[in-house]
């Protein structure tokens, strides 16, 4: 990877938190293959870095991500290149918390990437649009599954069919974002939240909870309870429970172990 390609997404460590910044500010951080490769490579590296316990993603300048670069969209008649690329939902595979700091427009694919985050912070300048119908496209990369679960089916239909722009206040009201930072810096707020997760919460617990949220999304309540019972027994036998309880009794910060890397990961209970 060349130095220019590395500049498409900047990486900065802030203690146990990795901050990733989409870095094409003159294009409102419009998505390209090079930006995608860099972002996904950094997420893969964060997955196996024991010193990284949470990731925050934001955009440089006035935008979060304005969606696919329209110059690239003009050349999508040959779909073979699309078929050769990694799955677009790489962020969903990250076991560690992924926090969005939406600082401006998140459009089309940029909105999808924001929705891939576990928790979303936004500044008053944040705006969201699905954009697909206005570009002759369909609801891409799982947004037709994610959006109804966040805002309800009829609101999802409204946003997908009309491609209308949603401002930060409406985004908070309907559940597109979780925290609206009116006073202060949205990135600083997201990093502070991520640092709290990284220092106070068990990495193993958070990884299992993320898996539960995905697995249980389409299951029944009874299935969720049944799976949770098995996972609970695993937790009772784990060292994180001992440390979590003892650190609380000692009134100190817990020292939970890092997640095992993929190469050393032991089989986990199937959800």
- Residue-wise pLDDT tens digits, 48-88: 999 999 999 999 999 999 998 877 655 555 555 555 667 77
Position 207 pLDDT exceeds 60: yes
Q: Where in the chain is the domain with CATH 3.90.226.10?
A: 3-198
**Neighbouring residues of 164: CB distance < 8 A, sequence distance ≥ 6:** 129, 158
pLDDT at 123: 98
Alpha carbon separation from 14 to 105, 123, 209 (Å, rounded)? 25, 21, 24
Domain with CATH 1.10.12 in the chain: 202-264
Res. 93: pLDDT tops 60 = yes
Mean pLDDT of 148-157: 95
Give 258 or 104, the one with higher predicted confidence: 104
The CATH code for residues 202-264 is 1.10.12
Q: 66: Cβ–Cβ under 8 A, 6 or more apart, which residues?
A: 27, 28, 29, 30, 31, 105, 107, 108, 110
When the pLDDT of each residue in the chain is averaged and rounded to a whole number, the result is 87
> pLDDT above 90 covers what percent of the chain?
61
Nearest of 73, 87, 168 to residue 127 by alpha carbon: 168
What confidence score (pLDDT) does residue 270 get?
39
CA 116: distance to chain centroid?
Answer: 4
The CA distances from residue 271 to 51, 97, 225, 242, in Å, are: 27, 19, 11, 24
Region 147-159: mean pLDDT is: 95
The predicted pLDDT at position 67 comes to 92
Average pLDDT of span 162-171: 97
Q: How confident is the model at residue 267 (pLDDT cuts 50, 70, 90)?
A: very low
With cut-offs at 50, 70 and 90, classify the pLDDT of residue 138.
Answer: confident
pTM equals: 0.87
Does position 180 have pLDDT exceeding 90, yes or no? yes
Task: Reply yes or no on whether the pLDDT at 163 is more than 90.
Answer: yes
Superfamily of 3-198 according to CATH: 2-enoyl-CoA Hydratase; Chain A, domain 1 (3.90.226.10)
In this model, does residue 269 exceed pLDDT 50?
no
- Cα–chain-centroid distance for residue 246? 31
């Amino acid at each position: 990877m060349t130095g220019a390609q590395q500049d498409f997404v900047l990486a900065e460590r802030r203690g146990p938190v990795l901050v990733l910044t989409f870095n094409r500010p003159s294009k409102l951080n419009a998505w390209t293959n090079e930006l995608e490769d860099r972002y996904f490579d950094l997420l893969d590296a964060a997955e196996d870095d024991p010193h990284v316990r949470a990731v925050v993603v934001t955009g440089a300048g006035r935008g979060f991500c304005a969606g696919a670069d329209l110059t690239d969209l003009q050349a999508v008649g040959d779909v073979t290149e699309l078929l050769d690329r990694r799955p677009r939902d790489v962020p969903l595979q990250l076991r560690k918390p992924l926090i969005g700091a939406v600082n401006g427009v998140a459009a089309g694919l940029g909105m999808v990437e924001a929705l891939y985050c576990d928790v979303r912070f936004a500044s008053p300048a944040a705006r969201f649009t699905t954009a697909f119908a206005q570009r002759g496209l369909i609801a891409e990369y799982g947004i037709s599954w994610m959006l109804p679960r966040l805002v309800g089916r009829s609101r999802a239909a409204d946003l997908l069919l009309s491609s209308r722009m949603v401002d930060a206040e409406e985004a908070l009201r309907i559940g597109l974002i979780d925290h609206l930072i009116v006073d202060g810096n949205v990135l600083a707020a997201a990093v502070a939240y991520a640092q709290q997760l990284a220092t106070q919460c068990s990495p193993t617990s958070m990884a299992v909870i993320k898996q539960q949220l995905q697995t249980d999304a389409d299951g029944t309540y009874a299935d969720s309870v049944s799976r949770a019972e098995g996972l609970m027994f695993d937790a009772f036998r784990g060292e994180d429970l001992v440390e979590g309880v003892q650190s609380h009794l000692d009134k100190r910060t817990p020292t939970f172990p890092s997640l095992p890397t993929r190469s050393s990961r032991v089989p986990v209970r199937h959800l």
